[in-house]
Amino acid sequence: MDSAEETTGGYRPWSEVTPDAARRLLVAAVEAFAERGYHATTTRDIAGRAGMSPAALYIHYKTKEELLHRISRIGHDKALEILETAAGGPGSAAERLDAAVRSFVLWHAAHHTTARVVQYELDALAPEHRGEIVELRQRSDAAVRRILAEGVAAGEFHVPDVPGTTLAVLSLCIDVARWFNAAGRRTPDEVGALYADLVLRMVGAAPDGSGTPRK
């Protein structure tokens, strides 16, 4: 419930959104969209959570959809940055895949409120905004596919269907935003470690060195 806690914990997100009133509205919108969904959220609710009158929203954003677009854009930028950093990093393909899944899942769990909006409210965007976002998602797909292809070429992975497995890996990570519950048993780090191990198994990499004894 106290998701203001989440959104300020750690690396202090939304710092790129100014002025202060615009950021407060955006954070309020993230919470409301994540709880009820975009269409079930009213502009009055968003403004109320930010401690403002309904009209105040329209000083900083032209429409309710612009709010969603801003949230979606910032979130996708962050998600893509995480994947591309891991994909372009040092180490073997297995190490990079581990890092990519671990950090991608960590972000989806730790910021599941934001991630839920980013990953599941895409259809509510206007067509031209949706196109822009879809492009970012294709680059995320390319980053993961690159790691898999390189791992196969290096003989580290055994993957018969690289595009299909890429899709499955991303799908698995993204869905964390749907089920993860901050009040649940697992910490974001634990889920990241579990998922990194599962994905390494999926690609046929030896699970040694990642904390999973073979017996």
Q: Which is nearer to a second copy, 9 or 208 (CB)?
A: 208
Q: Which is nearer to DNA, 59 or 154 (CB)?
A: 59
CA atoms of 67 and 156, how far apart (whole Å)? 44
Residue 37: which residues within 8 A CB-CB, separation 6 or more? 121
Query: Minimum distance from CB of 197 to a second copy (Å)?
Result: 8
Q: Which of 4, 55, 134, 168 binds DNA (CB under 7 A)?
A: 55
List b or e across 104-132, with b for residues whose CB sees 16 or more CB atoms inside 10 angstroms. Answer: bbbbbbbbbbbbbbbbbbbebbeeebeee
Q: Which is nearer to DNA, 90 or 127 (CB)?
A: 127
Query: Minimum distance from CB of 13 to a second copy (Å)?
Result: 24
Residue 54 near DNA by CB under 7 A: yes
Residue 127 near a second copy by CB under 8 A: no
- Joined together, the tokens standing for residue 28 give 């309020």
Residue 168 binds which of a second copy, DNA, none (CB < 5-8 A, kind-dependent): a second copy
Single-letter code of the amino acid located at 67: L
Residues that bind DNA (CB under 7 A): 19, 21, 41-44, 47, 51-56, 58-60, 62-65
